Amino acid sequence: MKILIDTNIILDFLLARAPFFENAKKLMQLVDDNKTKAYITANSITDIVYIVRKTYTIDEIRTAILALLDRIDVIGVDREDILLAFGLGFSDFEDALQSACSQKEQVECIVTRNKKDFEQSNVTTVDISDFLAEYAV
């Protein structure tokens, strides 16, 4: 199964944010066990680096991002993705761009903990708890 992991879940994992860390860790384990193929968007990397720089040094961030890239593929962002994202009617552009890129990559679902943020998405959106309940072994 191909999924896009919402930026917030990656942040939950990297920052060990309670109470969300455990689900993020379980999702990453599914990826590590090759039970799902995971993606994030290229712009998510810049957002993640910007946010975690308040907690980690640049060397720690580099190590964490490189480890993340060993597990997860990155969907590039181009002009067409940006134009599609603006046309989706989202209030949050980052979420719109993730949705547009998910559509381009033909992922089966976006895994998030904020389904309401993706109500305008053309890609199925699944809450992380529901995803884990269905796919975790």
Of 43, 33, 44, 47, nearest to 136 by C-alpha is 33
pLDDT for the residue 111: 98
pLDDT for the residue 137: 53
137 within some domain: no
pLDDT for the residue 133: 95
- Please give the full DSSP string across the chain, using - where no structure is assigned: -EEEE-HHHHHHHHHT-TTTHHHHHHHHHHHHTTSSEEEEEHHHHHHHHHHHTTTS-HHHHHHHHHHHHHH-EEE---HHHHHHHHHTT-SSHHHHHHHHHHHHHT-SEEEES-GGGGTT-SS-EEEHHHHHHHH--
The Cα–Cα gap between 9 and 26 comes to 11
- How many domains does the chain contain in total? 1
The Cα–Cα gap between 3 and 35 comes to 11
- Give me the CATH number covering residue 90: 3.40.50.1010
Domain containing 111 equals: 2-131
**Predicted model pTM:** 0.94
pLDDT in tens, 21-76: 999 999 999 999 998 999 999 999 999 999 999 999 999 999 999 999 999 999 99
122 within some domain: yes
- What is the pLDDT averaged over residues 81-108? 96
pLDDT in tens, 102-126: 999 999 999 999 999 999 999 999 9
- Which CA distances in Å does 35 have to 26, 119, 122, 134? 12, 26, 24, 12
pLDDT for the residue 54: 93
20 within some domain: yes
CB 126 within 8 A of CB 109: yes
